[in-house]
Amino acid sequence: MRHILVPEDLTAHEIEAIFAISHDLESKYDAGLRDALLPGRVLALVFEKPSLRTRVSFEAAMAHLGGSSVFLGEDAGFSSSRESIADFGRVLSQYADAIVCRSKAHDTILALAAAATVPVINGLSDYTHPCQALADVYTLKEQVGRVAGLTFTFVGDGNNVARSLAVVCGLLGMRFVLAAPPQYQFDDAFRAHLKALLPNAEIVETTDPVAAVKGAAVVYTDVWASMGQEKERAVRLEAFKPYQVNADLMHHCPQAFFMHCLPARRGEEVTDDVIDGPQSLVVDEAANRMHVQKGLLAWLLAK
Ligand code: CP
Ligand code: NVA
């Protein structure tokens, strides 16, 4: 039994294996075929925050694979005074074959996983978003044919999505560059973690977005104020102003694709002309959430 709580719960070799299954299932899906690899299996989704992509892509993935899913929102009483997280996890494991959890605090997912007797998959926490990063790098691989040696540039907040991407890029031999104001770059604990986990990876942090995008294969951004950071919004909008991904910035990297995990705050971290422009892969990227999660579910659960 394996939990996927952070991207580094997978090795590079395992990520490649998941991508291979995902690619096979995606090709079949495009041809109108749905491989029922998980008949009768049940996926529970326990979400403490809103979601479009993560929720629907997991639910559709399970339906296509011949299984089903149960969505548990606030009324299920997860992480509330109704019952302990441990009791919740032990009991839910009796009904479901795997659990996807989106939590406010990463520790909540860790507590659920500690009690669950079926695999728990992180569907976003304040710390990391592993399924997003897997789909993003898979999307780049589909476009270029390979990813090792490419530069992945993230312009914006060094938060959950950026952390997951730094790890997946490092695992797969890519160069990762984060351009952000100093106070929104990675913290020392995460830097030390990256150094220990990926001693040979090239992970660079800078305050210069123009230098960061030069030579990049991808320019990526995410919202400046994530779910749970609403009170910091005004301060963040001011700090991130020089980091908007707009046509001026993209002129420095005509070869690069543009990516965004979505939802986007158009006119803040990205302008309409970039997100809707010829360099943008945002719709493919969102579509690939489903294909890669199918690969992950099949890899975790299929006999
Ligand atoms: N990118 C992503 O995780 O989107 P949702 O918040 O809509 O799931
Ligand atoms: N960083 C964003 C990602 C949303 C998919 C958030 O946590 O709100």
Find, among 92, 94, 40, the residue nearest to 63 by Cα: 40
Do the domain assignments include residue 2? no
Report how far ligand 2's centroid is from the alpha carbon of 223 (Å). Answer: 7
- Taking the C-alpha atoms of residue 45 and residue 74, their distance in angstroms, rounded to an integer, is 11
Are 160 and 280 in the same domain? yes
Closest atom of ligand 2 to CA, residue 229 = 8
Please state at what angle helix 160-171 crosses helix 12-30, rounded to 10 degrees: 100
Ligand lying closest to the C-alpha of residue 289: 1
Instruction: Say yes or no to pLDDT of 273 above 90.
Output: yes
Binding site membership of 51 for ligand 2 (Cβ less than 6 Å): no
- Half-sphere exposure for 54 (CA within 13 Å, toward CB): 28
Binding site membership of 271 for ligand 2 (Cβ less than 6 Å): no
Report how far ligand 2's centroid is from the alpha carbon of 39 (Å). Answer: 32
Mean pLDDT over residues 75-80, rounded?
91
Instruction: Say yes or no to pLDDT of 303 above 80.
Output: no
Mean pLDDT over residues 216-227, rounded?
98
CATH number for the domain that contains residue 106? 3.40.50.1370
Q: What are phi and psi of 46, to 5 degrees?
A: -110, 110
Mean pLDDT over residues 271-285, rounded?
98
Report how far ligand 2's centroid is from the alpha carbon of 34 (Å). Answer: 30
Are 201 and 154 in the same domain? yes
Are 244 and 227 in the same domain? yes
Domain region containing 125: 7-129+288-301
The structural domain count of the chain equals 2
Do the domain assignments include residue 1? no
pLDDT tens figures, 168-192: 999 999 999 999 999 999 999 999 9
Q: Which residues have CB under 8 Å from 260's CB, separation 6+?
A: 220, 221, 222, 269, 270, 275, 280, 282, 285
Do the domain assignments include residue 213? yes
Cα angle: 60, vertex 24, 54; to 5 degrees: 30
Are 278 and 151 in the same domain? yes
User: 49 — alpha (psi -120 to 50), left (phi > 0) or beta?
Assistant: beta
- Taking the C-alpha atoms of residue 123 and residue 105, their distance in angstroms, rounded to an integer, is 12
User: 9 — alpha (psi -120 to 50), left (phi > 0) or beta?
Assistant: alpha
Report how far ligand 2's centroid is from the alpha carbon of 202 (Å). Answer: 25
Instruction: Say yes or no to pLDDT of 84 above 80.
Output: yes
Are 189 and 279 in the same domain? yes
Do the domain assignments include residue 273? yes
Instruction: Say yes or no to pLDDT of 35 above 70.
Output: yes
Are 137 and 266 in the same domain? yes
pLDDT tens figures, 238-250: 999 999 999 999 9
Find, among 94, 129, 123, the residue nearest to 222 by Cα: 129
The band of 237, judged by pLDDT with boundaries at 50, 70 and 90, is very high
Task: Give the position of tokens 């690969």.
Answer: 295
pLDDT of residue 118: 98
Most informative mutation of 124, 131, 157 for ligand 1 (most atoms within 8 A of CB)? 124
Are 142 and 176 in contact by the 8 Å Cβ rule? The answer is no
- So which residues are the catalytic ones? 102, 129, 132, 222, 261, 289
pLDDT tens figures, 151-166: 999 999 999 999 999 9
Are 153 and 277 in the same domain? yes
DSSP 232: G
DSSP 76: G
User: 156 — alpha (psi -120 to 50), left (phi > 0) or beta?
Assistant: left
Do the domain assignments include residue 199? yes
Do the domain assignments include residue 41? yes
Strands 175-179 and 203-206: what pairing? parallel
pLDDT of residue 227: 97
Please, what is the average pLDDT of the chain?
97
Rounding to the nearest 10 degrees, give the CA dihedral for residues 7, 12, 13, 16.
80
Ligand lying closest to the C-alpha of residue 285: 1
The band of 302, judged by pLDDT with boundaries at 50, 70 and 90, is confident
Are 137 and 279 in the same domain? yes
Find, among 279, 288, 235, the residue nearest to 261 by Cα: 288
Binding site membership of 125 for ligand 2 (Cβ less than 6 Å): no
Are 93 and 151 in the same domain? no
Binding site membership of 8 for ligand 2 (Cβ less than 6 Å): no
pLDDT tens figures, 184-216: 999 999 999 999 999 999 999 999 999 999 999
Are 25 and 121 in the same domain? yes
Instruction: Give percent of the chain with pLDDT exceeding 90.
Output: 98
Instruction: Say yes or no to pLDDT of 134 above 70.
Output: yes
Report how far ligand 1's centroid is from the alpha carbon of 12 (Å). Answer: 24
Instruction: Say yes or no to pLDDT of 7 above 90.
Output: yes
Do the domain assignments include residue 83? yes
Residue nearest to atom 1 of ligand 1 (CA): 261
Are 168 and 191 in the same domain? yes
Are 81 and 135 in the same domain? no
